[in-house]
Amino acid sequence: MKIIFSLCLVIALTVAPVIPQDAGRILPEDLIYRGAFRLPETTGGSVVDTWAWGGHAMAYFPDGDSYGPEDGFPGSIFATGHAWSHLVGEISIPVPVISSSNNLSDLSTALHLQAFTDILDVSDLEIPRTGLAWLPAQGAQTSGKLYFCWGYHMQEAPADLTHGWCDTDLSDPRVQGGWYLDGWPVHVRNMSTNDYLCGIPTEWADLYTPGSNLATGRFRDGGWSGQGPALFAIGPWNQGNPPPSGSALPNAPLILYTSTYDYSEENHTMNGYHHSDEWSGAAWLSSGEKSALIFVGTKGKGDCWYGNEAGPCLNCQNRGWWSDEFSSQILFYDPQDLSEVATGIRQPWEPQPYAALEIDEFLFHITSNQQKHHVGAACFDAHQGFLYVFEPHADGEKPIIHVWQVPTEQGEIEPDSKKKKAFARR
pLDDT for res 105: 97
Residues in the chain: 426
CA distance 392 to 54: 7
pTM above 0.85, yes or no: yes
pLDDT for res 391: 98
Cis peptide before 242 (omega within 30 of 0): yes
pLDDT for res 409: 61
Q: What are phi and psi of 29, to 5 degrees?
A: -70, -10
pLDDT for res 7: 33
> Which SS3 state, helix, strand or coil, does residue 34 take?
strand
pLDDT for res 18: 46
**CA 48 remoteness from chain centre:** 24
pLDDT for res 425: 37
Q: Using one digit for the tens of pLDDT, what is the confidence trace for 124-172?
A: 999 999 999 999 999 999 999 999 999 999 898 888 999 999 999 999 9
- In 103-115, which positions are buried (b, 16+ CB within 10 angstroms) versus exposed (e)? eeeebbebebbbe
CA 202-206-344 angle, 5° bins: 125
pLDDT for res 424: 38
Q: Using one digit for the tens of pLDDT, what is the confidence trace for 104-124?
A: 999 999 999 999 999 999 999
Q: Which residues in the chain show pLDDT less than 70?
A: 1-21, 43-45, 409-426
Distance set, CA 338 to CA 53, 213, 217, 335, 401 (Å): 34, 13, 14, 5, 29
Contact 166, 174 (CB under 8 A): yes
Dihedral sign of CA atoms 103, 32, 276, 368 in order: negative
pLDDT for res 266: 83
Amino acid type, 260? T
